[in-house]
Every structure is written in C-alpha cells, then in structure tokens.
C-alpha cells in the first residue's frame, strides 16, 4: 500500500509557476439547496395525484360520481345515480309498477325482478328507500351479476342485511339496471349510507367489478371517449381553456378539439358564429354548469329555442306545462316547467311527490333560495283558482 500513489500522497512538484495550495483540500462553501426539497415535493405530489381518483359530486337527493382524467384510467366506467324518498306509496309504486315497466305499453317483454323475494320485500316495506340506477359503459357487463356483487359489497361495508330488488331496462338503447333498497334491513336496522360510501365506495365497487368481468378498457375505447368530449353537455376541461380566452375566438389558431367544442356550443345556442369567428354568449358557463347539474334542463332549453329560465329564487306563479321525475329512464332529476307571463321557467325539485300537476296553477315563494339544494315538494303551493299567472319576480 505504501507504494500506491494517489492524489493525496503524491509528492508535490515545487515550481514557482504553480499555486502552492493547488493540492490542498478546501472545505466547499455552503449554499442552501432549494432544488432538492422542491423535487421531493413534486415527486410526492405526482404519486398522490395518480393514487387518488378525481371525483365530482352533484345533485341533492341525487348523487353522481364522475371519473375525470380518463386518459390515465383504464378501469371500466360505470355511471351510478342515487336518489332517496320518504313516501311509502311511491316506494311501492316504484318496485311494483315502474321497475317492471308496467306503465310502458311499448315494452312488450317486461323485465323480471330479481333480488329479495317481492312478497318478503313488501311485508317489510317502509316509506324511506333508496333508488339507484347503474349504467356501465361496456354493454357486455352482466348487469344481474354486477348488481348482486354490488349489494354484497355494500352489506360487507355497512353490516346491513338488505331487502333489495333489481330490474334490467333495455328500451333506451343502452342497457342499465334499476335497484330499490328498503330503508329497514332484515335485522331491523335503519339503512343509511354515508357520504363517503355514496360518493366514493359505490362507484369504486362498480368500476372494479365491471373491469374484472370484461377486462380493462382498450386504448381505442379511451380515445373514443376523448373524441366524444367536445359534445359533452356539461362544463369540461375544454371549456376551461375557452374561458381563458378574452374576446372572439378564431378557429384556425385552435386545436381540433376546441374547434369541435365551439361548433357544439354554437349548435346549442351558447355561442355566435361569423364565418370562422366565434363569440361566446354571456352566461354560457353558468348554463353549461346547469346542464350538467340537471340533465333535462338542456333538453327543455333547446326544445324552447333557448326561451327557458332556471328558477333562481323569489316569487313565481304560473301554470305547469310539464313535470319531470327521476322515475324515468331519460331523467336524473325531478323538475317542473312553468309558464308565466314573463316566459317559461324550469324549477328543479327535490323529490316531486305531487302528481297530475300539468295544467294547474302553482305558486312558489322563496326569497332566500339556494340553487344548490333545489326546492322541496312542500314549497310548491297548488292554487285552487285557474287562469293566467300573475307573473314572476326574482
């Protein structure tokens, strides 16, 4: 070892031309390093974003969790909608008439009920109940198997032993299943699902089960969903990009997805078009957000050529033109369309129990209206007198 020469034991070369401290070890000057902590933070942030699914919550008495960031999510997509009611009459009508589609004469092949024996269900039926719609994107998913698995997992999570029923509807062109869950379980316990279960667990159960049944989504399926995004009737990431622009939008400087989005907004009367120049109308963002919250509002809005307002509180009196209820395959919420002297008004309602309102004069007086919770059925006053409305003020 003594014969091994290194930088530290090599004899110095004495020369007047060289620095005498050339081989002396010097302690480096300390500088605070901000890059290291920053890199560690960004790395941790990246992992947390990949681990935590992005969700949204909408509805009041009606819950929906939507999956975002589909480019990195290959799990099967399953839309689930939940509503609850407190009427024994509506509960019984839902499982005995609506679920087997007895009210639809066009459905000749009536769906069969499965789950708890119907007689046993009726014997223990209580006013409070849950209604759930499950609609997988992939139509190869066995809906009966999916429903049974879903109920079993709910029972494992909550400890309930549920009375429940299911029916598969095929008349809309997209198969889906309707479930009813009694508000009292077989052990006599009141059935109540927490927000965490409704907002997170239910969808996770359904997506995981569907993925195991038919496999992960292909990249082609994910690309197809991305291709459909410009035609989505709700506020999207594309709209966030458009919102960032100030003033008219020239399509030639935009990518294809934004061009398609602008064309769709023009078709639904939320933008004006002059050649290749688009101008977004005032309030377009609020209307898109409303479309996403109340899916039937867009249909009614377009059917009346945009001459439809959303109830924002205050005093309203007019004649009911149409009632919309959750117990329809095309509707995710309850509402009434009211004709007033100042035009038509769309009123979202939480659990509309009143029946046969068409043609009747109603009155709503809500000076402190909160649009995020809708109005209740009790706040709709049916007037005994008939005739033209006295107007609307808000």
Q: Which of the four pLDDT bands, split at 50, 70 and 90, describes residue 386?
A: very low
Angle subtended at Cα 139 by Cα 264 and Cα 166, rounded to the nearest 5 degrees = 110
Cα separation values, 195 from 148, 178, 244, 245, Å: 22, 20, 33, 37
The residue among 198, 207, 192, 228 whose CA lies nearest residue 79 is 207
Which residue's structure tokens are 């031309």? 17
Burial of 164 (0-12, 13-18, 19+ CB in 10 A): buried
Q: Quick check: 302 and 268 in contact, CB under 8 A?
A: yes
What mean pLDDT do residues 96-120 have?
A: 90
Burial of 176 (0-12, 13-18, 19+ CB in 10 A): buried
- Taking only the tens place, the pLDDT of each residue in 55-71 is 333 333 444 333 333 33
Radius of gyration of the chain, Cα coordinates, nearest whole angstrom = 30
Burial of 151 (0-12, 13-18, 19+ CB in 10 A): buried
Whether the pLDDT of residue 182 is over 90: the answer is yes
Whether the pLDDT of residue 333 is over 80: the answer is no
Q: Give the residue with greater pLDDT, 196 vs 31.
A: 196
Q: Quick check: 240 and 288 in contact, CB under 8 A?
A: no
What mean pLDDT do residues 238-242 have?
A: 92
Angstrom distance (rounded) from CA 75 to CA 327: 29
Angstrom distance (rounded) from CA 218 to CA 6: 60
Cα separation values, 363 from 296, 315, 379, Å: 22, 8, 8
Q: Quick check: 198 and 63 in contact, CB under 8 A?
A: yes
Specify the long-range contacts of residues 61-68, CB closer than 8 Å, at least 24 apart: 61/350, 61/351, 61/374, 62/326, 62/332, 62/333, 63/198, 63/199, 64/332, 65/199, 65/200, 65/202, 65/203, 67/203, 67/207, 68/237
Per the prediction, the chain carries an average pLDDT of 80
- Taking only the tens place, the pLDDT of each residue in 285-301 is 988 888 887 878 888 88
């Amino acid at each position: 070892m003594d014969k091994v020469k290194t930088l530290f034991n090599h004899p110095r070369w004495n020369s007047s031309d060289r620095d005498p401290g050339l081989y002396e070890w010097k302690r480096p000057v300390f500088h605070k390093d901000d890059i290291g902590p920053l890199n560690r933070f960004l790395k941790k942030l990246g992992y947390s974003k990949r681990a935590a699914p992005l969700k949204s919550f909408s509805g009041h008495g009606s819950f929906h969790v939507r999956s975002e960031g589909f480019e990195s999510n290959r799990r099967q997509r399953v839309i689930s909608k939940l509503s609850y009611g407190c009427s024994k009459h509506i509960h019984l009508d839902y499982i005995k008439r609506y679920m087997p589609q007895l009210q639809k004469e066009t459905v000749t092949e009536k769906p069969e009920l499965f789950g708890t024996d119907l007689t046993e269900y009726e014997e223990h039926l209580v006013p409070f109940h849950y209604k759930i719609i499950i609609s997988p994107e992939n139509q190869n998913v066995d809906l009966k198997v999916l429903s049974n698995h879903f109920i079993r997992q709910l029972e494992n999570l909550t400890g309930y032993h549920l009375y429940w029923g299911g029916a598969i509807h095929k008349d809309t062109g997209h198969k889906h299943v309707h479930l009813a869950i009694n508000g009292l379980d077989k052990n006599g316990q009141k059935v109540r699902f927490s927000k965490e279960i409704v907002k997170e667990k239910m969808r996770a159960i359904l997506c995981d089960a569907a993925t195991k049944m038919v496999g992960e989504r292909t990249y082609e399926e994910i690309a197809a969903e991305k291709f459909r995004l410009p035609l989505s009737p709700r506020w999207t990431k594309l709209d966030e990009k458009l919102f960032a622009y100030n003033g008219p939008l020239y399509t030639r400087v935009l990518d294809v997805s934004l061009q398609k989005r602008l064309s769709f907004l023009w078709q639904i009367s939320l933008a004006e078009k002059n050649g290749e120049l688009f101008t977004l109308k005032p309030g377009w963002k609020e209307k898109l957000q409303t479309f996403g919250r109340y899916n039937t509002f867009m249909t009614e809005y377009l059917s009346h050529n945009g001459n439809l307002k959303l109830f924002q509180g205050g005093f309203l009196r007019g004649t009911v033109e149409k009632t919309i209820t959750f117990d329809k395959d095309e509707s995710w919420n309850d509402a009434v369309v009211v004709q007033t002297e100042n035009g038509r008004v769309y009123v979202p309602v939480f659990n509309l129990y009143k029946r046969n309102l068409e043609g009747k004069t109603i009155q709503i007086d809500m000076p402190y209206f909160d649009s995020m919770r809708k109005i209740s059925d009790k706040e709709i006053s049916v007037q005994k007198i008939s005739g033209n409305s006295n107007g609307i003020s808000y």
